[in-house]
Amino acid sequence: MQESVIDIRGLDNAERIKVQLRTEAPKRWQVDDIVALFELPFADLMHRAQSIHRENFDPNGVQVSTLLSIKTGGCSEDCGYCPQAARYHTDVEKQDLMQLEEVLAAARAAKENGASRFCMGAAWRSPKQRDLEPVLKMIQEVKAMGLETCATLGMLKDGQAEQLKEAGLDYYNHNLDTAPEYYGDVITTRTYQDRLDTLERVREQDINVCCGGIIGMGESRVQRAGLLAQLANMERPPESVPINLLTQVEGTPMYGMDELDPFEFVRTIAAARITMPQSFVRLSAGRQSMHEGIQALCFLAGANSIFYGEKLLTTDNPEAETDRKLFDKLGIHPL
């Protein structure tokens, strides 16, 4: 295997070190390998990510999904970033499960706006059977409109993934959020293993996996690399990898955190592209606060999927028209 030696700025001890970077992706990514990617000079990292992106995807195509919150707030979990947790005092208004017709109207509008996938999100720890049944109907009807379907409903119990598959679900979203070592600082009401178990149930049914995390929650660079290693080393890496930038919401424990350097976010996107060459890397929450120049760098780094629409669950997302203008400026077309 061909190898190249590249000078890299030091890690914790700030000494300049030399790391041998394999020109072919290792079968199993070590966290150190991924940290070494983050440490590359920006132009080198971008070149590498863009080259891999071009080998695997249409470089100017971006997949567009729309996300609708079908049940909002009142969640029993304690995710430290989430305004929908019942225990935090935020402006989010609790809303029961939406009616089928309202969901279908939103799906129709999403399709007219160019979305190819419609994601339905419900703030549940885990759906009860009586909750799941109306959602199955929504999935069937949205699928019948010719849209891909995605759902994020919390942890799945035995038998629930089967029902979702039968209803025609294409993707299930369940994020790992962060590296295992930092997870306890973010959530205490369920474990990392709980999340992996749900993902396994989804995989067993051959449903595509949408799984990523949130960046800027106070984690270290090593922990950002640790999250990517978890995702990239899955037996089958997720087909879709949402990389969210923390949207700080007043009333949540993570409100008031130091803001992440935007270039570190771009580096995370690039490292995700390199470690998961065939996955769609989705630029997700946090786009609202991102200058369009940084969004353009994210596309250059290999992001090739976005959420489109005014609201991302409960936080603002750039309006569809603003996104269309940005796509036009960059010569991007929706996939």
Structure-token pair, residue 310:
């005014």
| Choice among 48, 117, 119, 287 that is catalytic | 119
Q: Which stretch binds ligand SF4 (CB under 6 A): 59-67, 78-86, 107-115, 284-292?
A: 78-86
Check binding of 170 to ligand SF4 (CB under 6 A): no
- Give Cα separations from 124 to 86, 140, 314, 333 (angstroms): 11, 20, 14, 35
Check binding of 75 to ligand SF4 (CB under 6 A): yes
Distance CA 66, CA 209 (A): 16
Task: Name which position in 84, 178, 244, 284 contacts ligand SF4 (CB under 6 A).
Answer: 84
Distance CA 294, CA 269 (A): 11
Q: How far is the CB of 324 from ligand SF4 (least distance, A)?
A: 29
- Residues in region 113-132 near ligand SF4 by CB under 6 A: 123
Check binding of 275 to ligand SF4 (CB under 6 A): no
* Annotated binding-site members for [4Fe-4S] cluster: 75, 79, 82
Report which DSSP code applies to 276: S
Residues 179-218, one symbol each (x = binds ligand SF4 by CB under 6 A, - = not), give ----------------------------------------
**Alpha helices (H) along the chain:** 31-38, 42-56, 100-112, 129-144, 160-167, 180-183, 192-204, 221-232, 262-275, 292-300, 320-330
Check binding of 77 to ligand SF4 (CB under 6 A): yes
Cβ atoms within 10 Å of 308's Cβ, excluding its own: 27
Structure-token pair, residue 312:
């991302």
Q: Which stretch binds ligand SF4 (CB under 6 A): 13-21, 25-33, 72-80, 126-134?
A: 72-80
Most distant CA atoms of the chain, gap in Å: 60
Structure-token pair, residue 329:
């400026």
Q: Is 119 a catalytic residue?
A: yes
Nearer residue to ligand SF4 within complex by CB, 77 or 170: 77
Q: Is 298 a catalytic residue?
A: no
Structure-token pair, residue 49:
């990510």
Q: Is 210 a catalytic residue?
A: yes
Distance CA 275, CA 281 (A): 11
| Choice among 75, 117, 201, 287 that is catalytic | 75
Query: Can you say whether the dihedral through the CA atoms of 101, 106, 112, 117 is positive or negative?
Result: negative
Task: Name which position in 46, 67, 79, 92 contacts ligand SF4 (CB under 6 A).
Answer: 79
Q: Which stretch binds ligand SF4 (CB under 6 A): 75-83, 160-168, 191-199, 212-220?
A: 75-83
Q: How far is the CB of 77 from ligand SF4 (least distance, A)?
A: 4
Check binding of 249 to ligand SF4 (CB under 6 A): no
Phi, psi (rounded to 5 degrees) for 282: -100, 125
Nearer residue to ligand SF4 within complex by CB, 77 or 323: 77
Distance CA 314, CA 68 (A): 9
Q: Which stretch binds ligand SF4 (CB under 6 A): 79-87, 159-167, 256-264, 271-279?
A: 79-87
Check binding of 245 to ligand SF4 (CB under 6 A): no
Q: Give yes or no for a contact between 82 and 252, defined as CB atoms under 8 angstroms apart.
A: yes
Q: Does residue 216 come out as left (phi exceeding 0), alpha (psi in the -120 to 50 range) or beta?
A: left
Q: How far is the CB of 34 from ligand SF4 (least distance, A)?
A: 25
Structure-token pair, residue 144:
């019948």
Task: Name which position in 37, 82, 104, 283 contacts ligand SF4 (CB under 6 A).
Answer: 82
Q: Is 211 a catalytic residue?
A: no
Q: Is 282 a catalytic residue?
A: yes
Binding region for ligand SF4 (CB under 6 A):
75, 77, 79, 82, 84-85, 123, 154
- Known catalytic residues are 75, 79, 82, 119, 150, 210, 282
